[in-house]
Structure 1
Amino acid sequence: GGRRRRAGGAERVSLLESKLRGEIERLAETTGGVDFFSVFNDIDRSGSGVISRQEFLKMFKDLGLRVSAADAAAVADHIDRDGDGTISYREFERFCLKRDGGYASSSSSIPSRQHKGEGKR
């Protein structure tokens, strides 16, 4: 489209995180709720219990999200809270559940005060 402007680095990464979060949520939706663990295990092809940088980059390709290696690394750095170079399930889940006040766009209609089990059925 013609209205697309070049986003700055942080803005571009934030947009990418938002898109990624949406794709992961779509994949995680099951009849019984949301299953992030299955998605995590699909990304963790080696079965090591963590997502490596290579597995993370491959995930973008598998989802059809065009992204530079630098942008993918920037997103991975945000998710990798302890800086060990891999993404644990806890870090992955924290990223998936992040709503507002963080990197995700604040266009989410879900209130930030929502507790587990409320609202979504």
Structure 2
Amino acid sequence: MSQSLKGLLLAAEKQSDRTINVLGHDFPVRRLTAARLAEFEQEQKNASDQNSGDAANRAAAGLVLESLLDESGQPMSATTTVDELLQAKSPASINSAMSELLKLNFMAEGASTKAKKK
């Protein structure tokens, strides 16, 4: 075996080709790691504890940008800032996209009706 079992266990998951219709368009997407999703949940909790809609919107926008992929398969967060997304889209649109992306992240592979194979 060329790779250790630990190496196989910790290797990044292969992403299936998925698209999701959010923000008025079909975008290719990726699932986020469990650690990143836990970080997002903490950001949302902190925003709620501070009663900060701005912090909640920023966390949601960040999750959206990390999940949506550009034409070369890289996360949109590499080329688009949270501030740019917040300037272009409404909080309702961003939160709707976030909700769909969270569903995709937490449901079993093949269970999604919104996300579809390319």
Normalised to the residue count of structure 2, the TM-score between the two structures is: 0.30
Larger radius of gyration: 2
Normalised to the residue count of structure 1, the TM-score between the two structures is: 0.30
Q: Which has the higher relative contact order, 1 or 2, with Cα contacts under 8 A spaced 6 or more apart?
A: 2
